[in-house]
Amino acid sequence: MSFETYFPIWDQLQPRQQRLLLDSLTCRTVKKGTILRGGSTDCAGLVLIRSGQLRALVYSEEGREITIYRLFDGDLCLFCAPCVIRSIQFDVTIQAEKDTEFWTIPSEIYHGLMAQSTAVSNYTNELMASRFTEVMCRMEQFMWKSMDKRVAAFLLQEASIEETLELRITHEIIANHLGSHREVITRTLRDFQAAGMVKLSRGLVTILDREKLEALLK
Amino acid sequence: MSFETYFPIWDQLQPRQQRLLLDSLTCRTVKKGTILRGGSTDCAGLVLIRSGQLRALVYSEEGREITIYRLFDGDLCLFCAPCVIRSIQFDVTIQAEKDTEFWTIPSEIYHGLMAQSTAVSNYTNELMASRFTEVMCRMEQFMWKSMDKRVAAFLLQEASIEETLELRITHEIIANHLGSHREVITRTLRDFQAAGMVKLSRGLVTILDREKLEALLK
């Protein structure tokens, strides 16, 4: 599949704009764990994922981290190029969660298209609103939900993304997704194990009772 | 001052668009405490504040609340009309914090302008990015900062908005801004009082030592 089929508003661009976009693209593959964007001055370009998985995270001053949203095949990473919208004044780090292949659209090209085309600027609006919605959802979970509910939700989300109940994930990584400490996650998972919901072994969390985990969320 | 001087991109609209906008406006005044927007289906229109103050808040299932940002004279309230952007899929309540006079732009008129004008759609992008930035800042405070730092920051912000060190505010209202409980706020304020930073009396928090409160934030 080509860029044209992945870029959602391709058909709404003029031939001249399509050419400009195609001519400016670069395609890259990065390994799992690579930081695609960190630091506030970095603004190489917008990333459109061909295959793989990215996560957007923020750090505390003490180095704790929390995932604020995730991106999958076909998603466009607006915050990989925050400079295209002047009022984005916060730092987000983008990390590859899997080996990821993507196209990069240079920031100045995209910014130019936004100024010419209501299709591009309104698409960008929808994109930002989607991320905003995810962040609000994450924020509400963090503020109002107890840790057992948040861990249960995370395990169920992982199972759905990976399409397996055997999750290859450490307690440390779960803590980094949820803005918590490893010890807190370990304690919660041991409670889940005692209740027969999961089985724990080195680097592996196996979901034994999905319904019981889902019931926790209610 | 008229709508034309308040609407930031007035000069970038065509005469026809300016007329359409002016003809569709309504002007209203609401009392302090009024809910301008609540519930998910409400989408009357975008609000441009002529004078006054609004706050955007979210509720927990148990009815706790937290302020996610505030709007002042000349600010446009995009989330008063979330339906103009389809991907806004979360509920925000908008409440007047002071008696507020404002214009309302009907949602369908604004939506129509976004489809015609890159000036309007890119302005909307900047607007949403500003709110996003405020929410991220609030989220980071909530996640990583201790309650004494958050209360100190709130008192200093209030003093700056109201231009006085004598804040007419209850512990309950501070709790509602910060997503906390009254008892927690009272305990924190009493610690501040013991340290000589504030003086507490009924419905009043007086800042005695601004520098000491500011030092807490570092």
pLDDT at A187: 96
How many CB atoms lie under 10 A from the CB of residue B56? 23
Task: Report residue A76 as tokens.
Answer: 């466009």
**Contact: B58, A140; criterion CB under 8 Å:** yes
pLDDT at residue B63 tops 90: no
Task: Report residue B156 as tokens.
Answer: 């200093």
Q: Which residues of B are less than 8 Å from A85 in CB distance?
A: 125-126, 129
Would you tell me the crossing angle of helices A171-178 and A147-162 to the nearest 10 degrees? Answer: 110
A57 backbone dihedrals φ, ψ, rounded to 5°: -140, 160
pLDDT at residue B189 tops 80: yes
Smallest Cα distance from A138 to chain B, Å: 9
pLDDT at residue B218 tops 70: yes
Which residue in the set B60, B118, B144 is minimally distant from A60, CB to CB?
Answer: B144
* Residue A133 contacts B, CB cutoff 8 Å: yes
pLDDT at A12: 97
Total H helices, total E strands in chain A:
8, 11
Q: Which residues of B are less than 8 Å from A217 in CB distance?
A: none
pLDDT at B40: 62
Q: Cα-Cα-Cα-Cα dihedral of B44, B45, B50, B52, to 10°?
A: 50
Residue from B52, B2, B46, B8 nearest B22 by CA:
B2
pLDDT at B110: 96
Q: Is the Cβ–Cβ distance between B179 and B64 less than 8 Å?
A: yes
Q: Which residues of B are less than 8 Å from A116 in CB distance?
A: 118
* Residue A12 contacts B, CB cutoff 8 Å: no
How many CB atoms lie under 10 A from the CB of residue B123? 19
pLDDT at B37: 87
Task: Report residue A77 as tokens.
Answer: 């990473």
ipTM of the complex: 0.89
For A1, A2, B173, the CA distances from A144, given in Å and listed in that order, are: 42, 43, 18
pLDDT at residue B41 tops 70: no
**Contact: A129, B86; criterion CB under 8 Å:** yes
pLDDT at residue B49 tops 90: yes
Please give the angle made by the CA atoms of A158, A159 and A164, to the nearest 5 degrees: 135
Residue from A129, A140, A132 nearest B143 by CA:
A140
Three-class SS of A70-112: EECCCCEEHHHCHHHCCCCCCCCEEEECCCEEEEEEEHHHHHH
Query: Position of tokens 């000491």?
Result: B212
pLDDT at residue B107 tops 90: yes
DSSP state, B156? H
pLDDT at B52: 97
Q: Which residues of B are less than 8 Å from A69 in CB distance?
A: none
Smallest Cα distance from A121 to chain B, Å: 6
**Contact: A125, B124; criterion CB under 8 Å:** yes
pLDDT at residue B1 tops 80: no
Helix (H/G/I), strand (E/B), else coil: B94: strand
In a 13 Å sphere around the CA of A161, the CA atoms on its Cβ side amount to 18
**Contact: A86, B126; criterion CB under 8 Å:** yes
What is the distance between the alpha carbons of residues B209 and A194, in angstroms, rounded to a whole number? 52
* Residue A1 contacts B, CB cutoff 8 Å: no
Q: Is the Cβ–Cβ distance between A9 and A76 less than 8 Å?
A: no
pLDDT at A41: 63
* Residue A199 contacts B, CB cutoff 8 Å: no
| pLDDT (mean) for B117-135 | 96
Mutate to test the interface with A, among B135, B143, B150 (most CBs of A within 10 A): B143
- Mark the ranges of chain A whose per-residue pLDDT is less than 70: 39-41
**Which residues 54-113 on chain B approach chain A with CB closer than 8 angstroms?**
58, 60-62, 64, 66, 85-90
pTM: 0.90
Q: Which residues of A are less than 8 Å from B134 in CB distance?
A: none
Query: Position of tokens 């990069």?
Result: A104
What is the chain A residue with the closest CA to B178? A143
Which residue in the set B61, B132, B137 is minimally distant from A128, CB to CB?
Answer: B132
Please return the burial class of A156, using the count of CB atoms within 10 Å of its CB with bins 0-12, 13-18 and 19+.
middle
Smallest Cα distance from A122 to chain B, Å: 6
* Residue A188 contacts B, CB cutoff 8 Å: no
Mutate to test the interface with A, among B75, B120, B123, B128 (most CBs of A within 10 A): B128
Band of residue B38 on the pLDDT scale cut at 50, 70, 90: confident
pLDDT at B74: 94
Mean pLDDT, chain B, as a whole number? Answer: 94
pLDDT at B60: 85
Using one digit for the tens of pLDDT, what is the confidence trace for A186-216? 999 999 999 999 999 999 999 999 999 999 9
What is the distance between the alpha carbons of residues A141 and A45, in angstroms, rounded to a whole number? 31
